[in-house]
């Protein structure tokens, strides 16, 4: 499936792209969380991770349904999620990073994302787009919980044992290079900001940075230096992991294209 | 059932099954006979306590191990709606596990001990979860048949004599029936779908039907602990009765799906008012219970691996909680000293 760009105005096209970015983040991160199911460090954490995965999936469904309407090409949530190839996926690189069966990676990835996602959803409450504002109204409550959950684990792991401290610091150092992409401005984001639909990405940085500093301080972790930041996911340039996520996720829809489930 | 392992541990001398006749025991049995609940603080015979611990912990382990075959399809669920429903179902099962471990803890065993028993291979869980989930239709079949069979057993256990277990069952049964309907709905969608989907549904039924019947445990004549468990009202309906009931309810559901039961001997018996069905492969059942099912090793390996990989996390959580406690205590002392 390719996005049918002819029929959309430039404004609609930008909104569509923007919605895909939001929706794809949620779909892909939810997928990564789902991989933990039955394998979490404690049963309570199986439940908590599924909770977050379910919230993100719910958000993705609302956003994708809306995206399909904006696009106007007759694609529903499943058509958009299950029939798009990797280079049409618009998620940030951070969320596609693999778990490596390492809880520290899952928590750091989640924390960096949640701290940003919370600011984003809070800003979207003021969106001039009523539909996005309504989705944010529901999401912001969920994301508040997600951020609390991942922050608490950052602190437990950072200020736990020497081993856990080392593991979580290592994951943080490793994933930090994906944090820059969250705040990058490009034509789509600029247009959204100008129309009052979404916040300017850089406007979220200060609050995000403050949350990160506060939690890392409590966790006795050190904030990595801002080195070269990886980016490209939001424009369809992904790493090697996304292809495998999609191969798994889209298998049934691709193998049985005429079936309904 | 989820606790079928109980019935086959013959010659187990760790559970004293003889009914004593002390005053305490007479009063205990009188209470049960009067359909009153036994609560954690009440006196109970050691055999009663041990049997319950086994039964409830096997049930808990089954909920937890049962997350694996279904979790196997989370990342491949064919639509966002199905994926959300499957995630929510597995989350329920994890909740059942927690809830049952807590019920067990009221009998003075820690969750840690119970989990260790599972990981060391000393405790049993339901044989059904040692079969692989190989297609999406298995998610339908598991909900329909496995949750369906679980409900069959657990509904009478809502009246179990032990209060915490009985209350756990009431809550769990509600969710299990939801799972069962959801599974059946997946099967219905497949059975009404394309030829390929229908084939997938039939294949899943073929593979899950017999193992589902095995969930009810051995025939009554081979089930040594049943009589005492019945007297204690820990078990309320016999294996064979429950199995028959399950067959009677399920066969018309399969007919409605337009699927064929993989049992040539299956036919309605107007005389008995029940379905007759073929002989279960008890050798297979025995082998699966002994650890030789298709996925026994994988399930145990997965549980052990998750436990090992999570060790440093649990240690960190404990260490952090301890630091907090120490800091709070130091603060209190400092304030008191001022
Ligand atoms: Fe359950
Ligand atoms: Fe269930």
pLDDT tens for each residue of B3-38: 665 554 444 555 555 556 789 999 999 999 999 999
Q: Which residues lie below 8 Å from residue B44, measured CB to CB, with a gap of 6+?
A: B28, B38
For B79, which of A51, A53, A261 is closest by C-beta distance? A261
Q: Look over chain B and give the mean of its residue pLDDT values, rounded to a whole number.
A: 93
Cβ contact B320–A155 (<8 Å): yes
Residue A65 half-sphere exposure toward CB, CA atoms < 13 A? 12
> How much distance in Å is there from the Cα of B145 to the middle of ligand 2?
10
A contacts of B302 (beta carbons < 8 Å): 38-39
- Note the pLDDT of residue B17: 52
Cβ contact A37–B95 (<8 Å): no
Whole-angstrom Cα distance, residue A25 to residue A146? 15
As for the ipTM of the complex, it is: 0.96
Pick from A23, A50, A243, A247 the residue to mutate for testing the B interface (most B CBs within 10 Å): A50
Yes or no: say if A23 and A60 are a contact pair by the CB < 8 Å rule: yes
- Residue of chain A whose Cα is closest to the Cα of B84: A54
CB atoms within 10 A of CB A76: 16
Cβ contact B91–A41 (<8 Å): no
Cβ contact A60–B80 (<8 Å): yes
Q: A228 to chain B nearest CA, in Å? A: 30
Q: What is the pTM of this model?
A: 0.94
Residue A136 half-sphere exposure toward CB, CA atoms < 13 A? 22
DSSP A39: -
pLDDT (tens digit per residue) in B141-159: 999 999 999 999 999 999 9
pLDDT (tens digit, 0 to 9) for every residue of chain B, 338 residues total? 576 655 544 445 555 555 567 899 999 999 999 999 999 999 999 999 999 999 999 999 999 999 999 999 999 999 999 999 999 999 999 999 999 999 999 999 999 999 999 999 999 999 999 999 999 999 999 999 999 999 999 999 999 999 999 999 999 999 999 999 999 999 999 999 999 999 999 999 999 999 999 999 999 988 877 788 889 999 889 999 999 999 999 999 999 999 999 999 999 999 999 999 999 999 999 999 999 999 999 999 999 999 999 999 999 999 999 999 999 999 888 888 77
Cβ contact B74–A37 (<8 Å): yes
Q: Quick one: B175 exposed, middle or buried, by C-beta within 10 A (0-12, 13-18, 19+)?
A: middle
Whole-angstrom Cα distance, residue B245 to residue B239? 10
pLDDT grade for A17, boundaries at 50, 70 and 90: very high
Pick from A38, A45, A166 the residue to mutate for testing the B interface (most B CBs within 10 Å): A38
Cβ contact A161–B90 (<8 Å): no
Whether the per-residue pLDDT at A191 is higher than 50: the answer is yes
Q: Look over chain A and give the mean of its residue pLDDT values, rounded to a whole number.
A: 96
Buried/exposed code over B148-164 (b: 16+ C-beta within 10 A; e: otherwise): bbbbbbbbbbbebbbbb
A contacts of B101 (beta carbons < 8 Å): 43
B contacts of A258 (beta carbons < 8 Å): 194
Pick from A26, A32, A43, A108 the residue to mutate for testing the B interface (most B CBs within 10 Å): A43
B contacts of A251 (beta carbons < 8 Å): 76
Domains recognised in chain A with CATH numbers: 8-222+229-255 (1.20.1260.10)
pLDDT (tens digit per residue) in B102-126: 999 999 999 999 999 999 999 999 9
């Amino acid at each position: 499936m390719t996005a049918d760009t002819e029929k959309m105005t430039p404004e609609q096209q930008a909104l569509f792209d923007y919605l895909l970015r939001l929706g794809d983040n949620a779909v892909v991160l939810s997928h990564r969380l789902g991989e933990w199911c039955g394998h979490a460090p404690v049963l309570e954490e199986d439940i908590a991770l599924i909770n977050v995965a379910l919230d993100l999936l719910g958000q993705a469904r609302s956003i994708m349904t809306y995206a399909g309407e904006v696009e106007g090409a007759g694609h529903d949530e499943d058509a958009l999620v299950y029939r798009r190839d990797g280079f049409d996926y618009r998620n940030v690189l951070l969320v596609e990073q693999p778990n490596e069966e390492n809880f520290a990676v899952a928590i750091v990835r989640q924390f960096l994302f949640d701290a940003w996602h919370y600011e984003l959803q809070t800003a979207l409450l003021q969106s001039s787009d009523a539909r996005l504002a309504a989705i944010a109204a529901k999401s912001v409550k969920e994301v508040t919980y997600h951020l609390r959950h991942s922050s608490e684990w950052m602190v437990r792991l950072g200020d736990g044992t020497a081993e856990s401290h080392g593991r979580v610091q290592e994951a943080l150092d490793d994933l930090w290079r994906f944090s820059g992409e969250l705040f990058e401005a490009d034509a789509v984001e600029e247009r959204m900001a100008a129309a009052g639909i979404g916040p300017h990405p850089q406007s979220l940085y200060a609050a995000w940075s403050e949350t990160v500093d506060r939690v890392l301080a409590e966790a006795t972790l050190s904030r990595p230096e801002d080195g070269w930041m990886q980016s490209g996911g939001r424009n369809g340039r992904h790493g090697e992991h996304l292809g495998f996520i999609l191969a798994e996720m889209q298998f049934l829809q691709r193998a049985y294209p005429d079936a309904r489930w | 059932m989820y606790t079928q392992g109980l019935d086959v541990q013959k010659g187990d001398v760790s559970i004293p099954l003889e009914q004593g006749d002390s005053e305490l025991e007479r009063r205990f049995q009188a209470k049960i006979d009067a359909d009153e609940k036994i609560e954690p603080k009440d006196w109970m015979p050691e055999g009663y306590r041990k049997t319950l611990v086994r039964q409830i912990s096997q049930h808990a382990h089954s909920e937890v191990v049962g997350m694996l075959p279904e979790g196997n399809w989370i990342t491949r669920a064919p639509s966002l709606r199905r994926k959300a429903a499957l995630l929510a179902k597995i989350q329920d099962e994890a909740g059942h596990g927690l809830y049952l471990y807590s019920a067990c803890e009221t009998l003075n065993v820690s969750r840690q001990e119970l989990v260790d028993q599972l990981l060391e291979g000393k405790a049993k869980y339901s044989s059904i979860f040692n079969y692989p989930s190989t297609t999406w239709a298995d998610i339908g079949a598991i909900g329909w048949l496995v949750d369906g069979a679980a409900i069959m057993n657990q509904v009478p256990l809502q009246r179990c004599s032990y209060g915490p277990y009985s209350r756990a069952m009431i809550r769990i049964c509600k969710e299990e029936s939801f799972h069962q309907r959801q599974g059946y709905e997946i099967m219905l969608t497949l059975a009404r779908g394309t030829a390929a989907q229908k084939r997938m549904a039939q294949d899943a039924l073929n593979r899950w039907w017999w193992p589902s019947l095995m969930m009810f445990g051995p025939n009554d004549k081979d089930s040594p602990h049943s009589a005492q468990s019945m007297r204690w009202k820990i078990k309320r309906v016999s294996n064979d009765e429950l199995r028959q009931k399950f067959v009677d309810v399920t066969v018309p559901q399969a007919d409605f799906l337009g699927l064929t039961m993989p049992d040539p001997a299956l036919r309605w018996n107007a005389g008995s008012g029940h379905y007759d069905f073929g002989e279960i492969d008890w050798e297979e059942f025995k082998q699966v219970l002994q650890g030789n099912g298709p996925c026994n090793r994988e399930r145990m390996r997965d549980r052990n691996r998750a436990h090992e990989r999570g060790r440093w996390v649990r240690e960190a959580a404990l260490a952090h909680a301890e630091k907090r406690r120490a800091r709070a205590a130091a603060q209190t002392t400092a304030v008191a000293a001022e």
